[in-house]
A and B are shown apart, each in its own frame.
Chain A
Amino acid sequence: MNKVRGLKEAVHHVETGATVMVGGFGLVGAPLSLIETLTDHDATNLTIISNNLGEAGKGLGMLLRQGKIKKAIGSYFTSNREVGEKYHAGGIEIQLLPQGTFSESIRAGGAGIGGFYTKTGVNTEIAKGKETREINGELYSFEEALTADVALIRAHKADKLGNLTYYKTARNFNPMMATAARFVIAEVDEIVENGSLNPEEIVTPHLYVDALVISNKILSKEGVVS
């Protein structure tokens, strides 16, 4: 099965109203080519599951400016000041989760687990309305798993089967997101022949990956370059 796609063809899987996971810690490890291609795609009213919404006008910040994001689920939106402006004007719904709860919710979603109990944030404002339970004398609160229609992730190398390796701290949320969406598109620097990745270095096995695209964006010291 050939999983290699063009960028436009790949983002066609994102439909209006869809829930979309997008990898990256800020712009590091974000699928910048896929995101930019989405700005030309007509899908709107999106629920985005991503740690941040990029930076002002960069990465997911572009989709925010276009008004295509209905709701964002993540842990740290303050790195893009336009999120605050939009939120204040009632233009976006925000669901905030502690970063560890956010990543574990995605991991659980991909692992077929409905939810989990965590000590993080229990009895604080962030856990308001969540079920609390005492386990071995300690308080925990219940968190539901997260899944999505589509995941847009960023990896380093792929083989043609869709096995993925990552690069340094650009890994972050990408491997979990690869497991938690019904359709997974991986943007990579390079696609190599099957057999040329060492099976020990593969972080995301190919069964999670539905489509591969070659990246045309690099995050350099000077910023995002094509």
Chain B
Amino acid sequence: MSADATSKERIAMRAAKEIIPGSIVNLGIGIPTLVSKFINSEDIFLHTENGLLGVKDIFEEDEIDPLIVNAGKLPVGETIGASYFDSAESFSMIRGGHIDVAILGALQVDETGCIANWAIPGQNILGVGGAMDLMAGAKKIIATTMHTNKEGQSKLVKLCTYPITSIRKIDVLITDLGVFQFKEGRCTLIELMPGVELEEVVQHTEASFEVNIKNLTNTVDEIF
């Protein structure tokens, strides 16, 4: 696995630890999709906005049903107790506050917790999907992303320069460098990812943040 892929898996693994048993969870496209393989509890149900509660990962070719897909249009399976519904009902669940956790990708997050993840300035805006609805309605929002973009610029910025997804703020940001909590418009680094030093986070972050790392023991297992 490449260093980049390992970092993404690590982010997904850490995100899975934010999910408590009994939760209904919606996973976005990209790193969020990887989270499902780190969810062990049978008491966590995955919701996909194209109309399925009870998404199950599939691993064998013969399990594929081309008419069962997730929001990324990838083939998935159904768990015991799964249900299908139309898109209006699915988004009623989302906007109506019935989804406990949404895990989303991000292009930028600013120091107050405002997120941009649907459009790049100067490019044609031709897709928005369900991200804005999830931001408007899910009870807890976790954003997952690599800390810097391909040009090495911080994605945790002072102010989003990309169009924002919602006026509602995210709760937690998990990157390959650390875990940040957003409360009352303030950003706090609460954890470092394995092998990461605080100086490295400071060096790669444009936003101002406070540091409140309770213990230096990482919560992500050193399995890599």
Contact = CB atoms under 8 A, between A and B. Distances in A.
A and B from one complex: yes
A28 B167 contact: no
Interface in B163-218: 163-168
B50 A25 contact: yes
B127 A168 contact: no
A171 B61 CA distance: 23
Interface stretch (B4-12, B13-21, B81-89): B81-89
A184 interface: no
B87 A99 contact: yes
A126 B86 contact: no
* Residue from B49, B67, B164, B165 whose CB has the most chain A CB atoms within 10 Å: B67
Given A25-B50, A219-B67, A104 B88 contact: yes
A99 B71 CA distance: 11
A99 B167 contact: no
Interface string A113-129: 00000111111111000
Interface of A (DSSP majority class): mixed
A19 interface: no
Interface range on chain A (Cβ under 8 Å from partner): 35 or more
A91 interface: no
B190 to A, nearest CB: 28
B167 A168 contact: no
Given A79-B73, A96-B126, A139-B167, A29 B67 contact: yes
Contacts of B94: 100
Contact of B128 (A83, A97, A173): A97
Contacts of B91: 99-100, 103-104
* Residue from B64, B88, B167 whose CB has the most chain A CB atoms within 10 Å: B88
Contact of B66 (A119, A175, A220): A220
A99 B133 contact: yes
A75 B128 CA distance: 6
Interface in B67-99: 67-69, 73, 78, 84-88, 90-92, 94-95
A25 to B, nearest CB: 5
A76 B87 CA distance: 14
B222 interface: no
B128 A169 contact: no
Interface string A3-37: 00000000000000000000001101100000000
A98 B132 contact: yes
Contacts of B50: 25, 28, 169, 172
Interface residues of B, number: 44
Given A79-B73, A124-B163, A124-B166, A170 B126 contact: no
A76 B127 contact: yes
A36 B167 CA distance: 42
A166 interface: yes
Contact of B86 (A88, A101, A176): A176
Nearest to B75: A221
Nearest to B65: A168
Contact of A221 (B66, B90, B128, B130): B66
A100 B73 contact: no
Contact of B73 (A25, A168, A175): A25
B52 interface: yes
A120 B95 contact: yes
Contacts of B135: 120
B105 interface: no
Contact of B69 (A83, A101, A169, A176): A169
28 contacts: A76-B127, A77-B127, A83-B126, A96-B127, A98-B128, A98-B131, A98-B132, A98-B133, A99-B91, A100-B49, A100-B91, A103-B86, A103-B88, A104-B91, A119-B168, A120-B95, A120-B135, A120-B137, A122-B167, A125-B119, A125-B125, A126-B132, A168-B84, A169-B48, A169-B67, A170-B67, A171-B84, A175-B86
Interface of B: 48-52, 61, 64-69, 73, 78, 84-88, 90-92, 94-95, 119, 124-133, 135-137, 163-168
Interface of A: 25-26, 28-29, 51, 75-79, 83-84, 87-88, 94, 96-101, 103-104, 106-107, 118-126, 139, 166-176, 203, 219-221
